[in-house]
Structure 1
């Protein structure tokens, strides 16, 4: 198994970056402002699995673009920004040195990617980044992962996808990739079936 793995694709939010609080609390603010009602933090956690604009649509906002832009504004004003999970600096460096191709396949918008991920300086190690604007369809559809495989110039069976949601698992299986669960960012693992369960980012090094 290990010898067949030539690339790893990563989700971002809940996998590489801890962005839960910086997304949920501003979303609560937006809902209160536009709908005049409060939704608990826990009841909004399920939306972490979806692209931002899809979340806005699912919640029933009338003007998707305007409400999304306002949410992004509140996110970027929030005092606690994205935080890199411990261990990823070492993980990316070692994967790069081993010749493992690295990519990102995320539902995050490019502008937010530049705000949240680029400051980590880990982008110097990656071969491709597939973001929300790059595909017509998003996870759990496999299109972003398959585009990642194409850009890495690898067969899907030679790639592991690392993510934290059931949408990540479904997309991996449909794409023909092995799935590694980032349990540190997972809200509920009971419905997720993974090829590998990772307890910490450094565990990634044990599956290649």
Structure 2
């Protein structure tokens, strides 16, 4: 069993996410936010970042983000080269695949559909499915529970420090990738069991 993070791991939504945040901040607060701060929020629930910056405007920022993100997803979403074939080969080798993300269900389902990855996923855990979110292990454990898998025989793959922490907290092998939102040095400092710099590296780690 391999569980994947979504944004920045399976699908390239980083540009879309950053642009959506900046649209919300400029529309509601009249200014942009630091991009590195925004990127550090990716992998966590949207409202968490908005509340940390402007609690009084968090709900308006959230709704503004969602509207712009929805309108621009198809235009700005990108595929990571090699991910589709990797997932196909994993499935062909008898590996069951899930995704566990802090993204809302609607946008998450849209992302995997637009990139064609939904055909490979046995289950998709989204923000609405658990009351706790990464680095809490709840989303990962729910994915395992749905497929009858044990943490000790499973891995979680993600591009952020919270992904590595969530894997550890779940008792799963932690695989960090460096092509997403997280700073490579920060992901490495979280000490994943495997650090993959390319999809080829990830393939070697998961398939040998």
Partner of 1:147: 142
CA distance in 1 between counterparts of 2:68 and 2:113 reads 20
CA distance in 2 between counterparts of 1:126 and 1:42 reads 31
Partner of 1:128: 123
CA distance in 2 between counterparts of 1:30 and 1:126 reads 31
Give the TM-score normalised by the residue count of structure 1.
0.90
Deviations 1:3-41 (A, max 9, x none): xxxx10000011011111111122112212222233232
CA distance in 1 between counterparts of 2:23 and 2:102 reads 22
Partner of 2:157: 162
Instruction: Report the secondary structure of 1:184's partner residue.
Output: coil
Higher RCO (CA < 8 A, seq sep 6+): 1
135-144 or 147-156: bigger deviation: 147-156
Deviations 1:112-166 (A, max 9, x none): 0122111222212211111000000000000011111111211101011000111
Shift of 1:78: 3.4
Confirm whether residue 138 of structure 1 aligns to residue 133 of structure 2: yes
Partner of 1:187: 183
Partner of 2:35: 41
CA distance in 1 between counterparts of 2:144 and 2:179 reads 25
Deviations 1:148-200 (A, max 9, x none): 11112111010110001111111100100001111111324233211011122
CA RMSD of aligned residues (A): 1.7
Partner of 1:199: 197
Match of 1:27 among 21, 24, 31: 21
Match of 1:115 among 110, 115, 118: 110
Kept in 1, the 8 Å contact 2:165–2:190? The answer is: no
Pairing of 1:169-184 with structure 2 (within 5 A): 169-184=164-179
Kept in 1, the 8 Å contact 2:5–2:100? The answer is: yes
Deviations 1:49-88 (A, max 9, x none): 3211222222214254443121011123337422121101
CA distance in 1 between counterparts of 2:26 and 2:60 reads 16
